[in-house]
Amino acid sequence: MNRSSSDASTDALVQELGSHASLRPAASFTEQEAPHVLAVSEQALLLRVSQARRLLNRSRARIYEMCATGELESIRDGRSILIPPDALYAWIMRKRKQGRRR
C-alpha cells in the first residue's frame, strides 16, 4: 500500500511533537471532542507558528496575519508568538460554522 505525502507529513509532525500529539482526521470529531483531538501534554502547552502552520495547513504569513488581527488567539513573549492549542480548535469550529451557513 502506498502512503500519500500528506500521511508522511502528518507522521513527521507527530514524530516532531513526540508523545504530545495524537492526530486524527478533522471530519471525524464533533464540537464536544474538538479540544481532545490533539492531546497536548503539560510540556507542550503552547505551539510555535511553524507547528500551528503545519497543523492548520496554512502559510506562515497567513498564521502571522491571523495572530495580528486576532482571528487566531496568540501570546507574545518577547519576539516569539506562541499559540495555545485550543485556539486552533476555536478557529476550526468558527470556520466549520461559517461553512454551514453558506
Q: Residue 48 belongs to what H/E stretch?
A: strand 47-48
Q: Write down the pLDDT at residue 23.
A: 47
Read off the pLDDT of residues 41-69 as tens digits, 9 standing for 90 and up: 445 689 999 999 999 999 999 999 999 99
Candidate ranges 24-33, 56-65, 89-98; pick with highest mean pLDDT: 56-65
What is the crossing angle of helices 5-17 and 49-56, to 10°? 150
Q: Write down the pLDDT at residue 14.
A: 53
Looking at every residue in the chain, the average pLDDT score rounds to: 75
